[in-house]
Amino acid sequence: MGLQDRDFMREPPPGAGAWLKQSPAYVHLIAINVAVWVLMLFLGGESSFARANFFVSPSGVFEDFRVWTLVTSAFTHLDLMHIALNMLLLYYMGQILHARGWSNGDLWTLYLAAGVGGSLAFCGLGAARGTWFTPAIGASGAVYGFLISGALIAPNLRLYLWGLLPLPLWGLAIGYTALDLMGATGQFGSDQIAHAAHLGGAAVGLVVTRFDLRPSRRRRRPKLVVLDGGRAAPPATPPASRPAAPAPSSSPAIDNATASRVDELLRKIKREGLHALSDEERQFLEQASRRYPR
């Protein structure tokens, strides 16, 4: 059965809103950040509603229990330069992760986890210092999670800082982390930067990537058949007297399990693009195409 014979290849073409399904998650995240920024322009960033629902602070989380601000603050910006720099780095790092097999679910998980981790780190340090009412906003914590993940996956990939200075991702990650450690310990005084949020997001990115906690990697492990006595069954070998089977003159018939998974992966390629495949999924398709060329 050829690719054009698959049922999903005969489906009608997608409509105008299909970009939401087909575009990668980092594009969705950028769109949400821009939409919230526009909303802030209409509401007024200093309005009581905005401060109560989009600004995160130790008092808001630990006293007023506005825990949703741990998430909403990670999508909120007031300054044009602030959102422009965050979204530029998010776009670049999102491309790197997506091209290396991170699915949309993986990118969403990393963004939300790093954003919440950054917000909690900011609130925790603020509570320890007694700055209970100092608020913070911005996607920087989540973006730092993307930066650290990208630096771990492709450390030698070069980013042209300000379009001029070529800098490997590992150098950029170490440099930014060092600056934030100095800022969080008060080396720069009061510079109005949430250094703790950056470090919290970076820590989440480190843990998620180092231990590969992506949702797409939670695969069902194959079951092992164990004989009595705890020993695994040895591979079956044909009797010596059995004649060798003649080589097939054409491609072998594809089994149902392989055909079903090929269909599943082809649907995923059509829905999310080739870059959404993991290394294991790419290898499976390559092996299937060699074994069943027809």
Per-residue DSSP letters for 78-134?
A: -SHHHHHHHHHHHHHHHHHHHHTT--HHHHHHHHHHHHHHHHHHHHHHHHHHT-TT-
128 and 212 within one domain: yes
186 and 48 within one domain: yes
Higher pLDDT, 276 or 196: 196
In a domain, 12, yes or no: no
The one-letter amino acid at 54:
F
Mean pLDDT value across residues 77-82 = 95
Picking from 167, 192, 217, the residue at the C-terminal end of a domain is 217
14-28, 107-121, 234-248, 263-277: the lowest-pLDDT one = 234-248
According to DSSP, residue 154 is labeled S
153 and 31 within one domain: yes
pLDDT at 2 over 80: no
276 and 208 within one domain: no
For residue 189, the domain's CATH number is 1.20.1540.10
Domain range spanning residue 262? 256-291
State the Cα–Cα distance between residues 40 and 51, nearest whole angstrom.
10
pLDDT at 164 over 50: yes
Helix (H), strand (E) at residue 165: strand 165-168
281 and 153 within one domain: no
In a domain, 236, yes or no: no
* Token digits of residue 185: 């310990």
261 and 173 within one domain: no
In a domain, 227, yes or no: no
181 and 87 within one domain: yes
191 and 68 within one domain: yes
pLDDT at 235 over 60: no
CA triple 139-142-148, angle to 5 deg: 135
In a domain, 278, yes or no: yes
In a domain, 5, yes or no: no
SS3 151: helix
Instruction: Specify the number of domains making up the chain.
Output: 2
In a domain, 224, yes or no: no
In a domain, 282, yes or no: yes
260 and 152 within one domain: no
Q: What is the pTM of this model?
A: 0.72
According to DSSP, residue 47 is labeled S
In a domain, 241, yes or no: no
156 and 66 within one domain: yes
277 and 161 within one domain: no
* Burial category of 267 from C-beta neighbours within 10 Å (exposed 0-12, middle 13-18, buried 19 and up): middle
What percent of the chain stands above pLDDT 70?
78
79 and 157 within one domain: yes
